[in-house]
Chains A and B, each alone.
Chain A
Amino acid sequence: QKHHKKVEILDAKTKDKLCFLDKVGKVLPSFSLHWYPARQSIRLDPKGKSLKDEDVLQHLPVGTTATFYFRDLGAQISWVTVFLTEYAGPLLIYLMFYFRVPFIYAPKYDFTTSKHWVVHLACMCHSFHYVKRLLETLFVHRFSHGTMPLRNIFKNCTYYWGFAAWMAYYINHPLYTPPIYGEQQIRLALTVFLFCQIGNFSIHIALRNLRPPGSKTRKIPYPTKNPFTWIFLLVSCPNYTYELGSWLGFTLMTQCLPVAFFTLVGFIQMTVWAKGKHRSYLKEFRDYPTLRSPILPFIL
């Protein structure tokens, strides 16, 4: 004897009845009222959290007639698309300034290159960084959510593209002043930068390996054989730690105030994210290691 549930779906704001399903089996079908699935938020409580795709009707705390609330999340765009756009921008914009495309600097400098070797090095580092990010987006990252609200792409692109243009303008400027401590400073900066790039990549790989393909399970990340992952002993989100390190290295290498500013703003944002992630780890796992800090060992 099968138990068939009835399902009604109400609008979360107006409480209008949108849909009534008389006989439903185990799984709640994703209905579309000219809103594609990624936009739909179905929840048990109008102000509560969304149900996940994997949730099964039978296992939800509902009676014989299940009442769900529907909320339109607005136009959505996939994470992959956003990442690719926001990273391709800085890559190309920086190169435009590096090659001194017309209308940026005085006409006599068009298509010339800087006489300082650190400027060429900086261009390689900056481009490497964003190429790495693009490749990671395509081949390494496993995203929990498929989509995000459409307005995010405008916000994110303004941030990344705007800062890239601001930095690139000064680094590739004909009147650029190379670092005070010369080769020593640049060498140290490059070491820090490369170390952190490798570190950041190692963390991304480690996080990817935590999660089998197609799954959305969550596990505590631990240090692996790779020494760059040993930082997991002290930090919850070492990818952000290494990212901060990379940009500190780049700041030191270019000795450019806009770069320092970009590093600072990025650090603030990443700290907010790291603290959030750290908190959700603590909430989800009873046995979460107590020695770990969100982003900076022992400090933050």
Chain B
Amino acid sequence: MTNPRRQLCWRSVFVTFAVCTGTMASGEEDRTVEEKETNNKKRTKGAIATAWLTFYNIAMTAGWLVLAVVMVRYYLQKGTHKGLYKNIARTLKFSQTFALLEVGHCAIGIVRTSVIVTGVQVCSRIFMVWFITNSIRQIQNEESVILFVVVWTITEITRYSFYTFNLLNHLPYFIKWARYNMFIVMYPLGVIGELLTIHAALPYVRRSGMYSLRLPNKYNVSFDYYYFLIIVMLSYIPLFPQLYFHMLRQRRRVLHGEIVVEKDE
């Protein structure tokens, strides 16, 4: 699905960094050698984490920008979206699969988001890319594919540049605005694109019997990809509103909180 996610707390990385440097400055004489060493380790860990995350987010922003450029150029040259998927397939697969690292970031704690939430997000994206568009050739020229790819591109460029600027501590307001407002339109559009694509794929899945396992077999289990896809489509019904309203609440908290501060000044 398109990507509403809790605001990643880069601040926590910075805070660790700042606290360690702060304590080092004030109470050095009182600290034992051991404590100094632990603080040193924390500092280096914080610094390495920040450096890696900055690199990662810049790389991802670049990756999705490339994708955007390729798509625009193709459309300007050819005037149609037919055949576009073949051009962007490799970049799309690469960029989206690379996002698996984000689950790792949450797992080791350098990013403060739930592993499960991130995992579900990334998995649903990977599912769309590898198990729908990549493997079912007949739907690759559908308009719905272009729809969700465009939506993802816009969303991801906004998201990754937001993280990058946050890490560098220079967040232009328009990026923050974009991240917390574009999803209102982008997210439903993306869901429509994804659902239409899966729906278009259904007849081909049924006909080919792909990814399915029939009885009898020695594992005594069966799997029907066609019905699985139907269940996936139905699952959007409970999941989409939850994630959407979560992002709305986030938005209110982030943007509304700012307004309160300004009034006090």
Residues on A facing B (Cβ under 8 Å): 170-171, 173, 175-177, 180, 254-258
Contact = CB atoms under 8 A, between A and B. Distances in A.
A299 to B, nearest CB: 23
Contacts of A175: 215-216
A108 to B, nearest CB: 16
Smallest CB-CB A-B distances: 5 pairs: A257-B221, A175-B215, A175-B216, A256-B220, A257-B219
Contacts of B217: 177
Interface in B172-227: 215-222
Interface residues of B, number: 8
A171 B220 contact: yes
B221 A255 contact: no
20 contacts: A170-B220, A170-B221, A170-B222, A173-B215, A175-B215, A175-B216, A176-B215, A176-B216, A176-B220, A177-B216, A177-B217, A177-B218, A177-B220, A180-B218, A255-B219, A255-B220, A256-B221, A257-B220, A257-B221, A258-B220
Nearest to B214: A175
Contacts of B220: 170-171, 173, 176-177, 254-258
A255 B220 CA distance: 7
Contacts of A256: 219-221
A170 B218 CA distance: 11
A248 B94 CA distance: 40
- Chain B interface helix/strand/loop/mixed: loop
A173 B222 CA distance: 11
Nearest to A180: B218
Contacts of A170: 215, 220-222
A65 B251 CA distance: 45
B216 A255 contact: no
Interface in B128-168: none
B235 to A, nearest CB: 15
Nearest to B220: A256
A65 B221 CA distance: 65
A171 B216 CA distance: 11
Nearest to A176: B220
A175 B215 CA distance: 6
Nearest to B217: A177
Contacts of A180: 218
Given A170-B221, A176-B215, A256-B219, 9 more contacts: A173-B220, A176-B220, A255-B219, A255-B220, A256-B220, A256-B221, A257-B220, A258-B220, A258-B221
A125 B203 CA distance: 42
A170 B221 CA distance: 6
Contacts of A257: 219-221
B232 to A, nearest CB: 18
A119 B222 CA distance: 18
Contacts of A255: 218-220
B184 to A, nearest CB: 32
A70 B225 CA distance: 51
Nearest to B221: A257
Contacts of B215: 170, 173, 175-176
A116 to B, nearest CB: 11
A56 B218 CA distance: 62
Nearest to A256: B220
B183 to A, nearest CB: 31
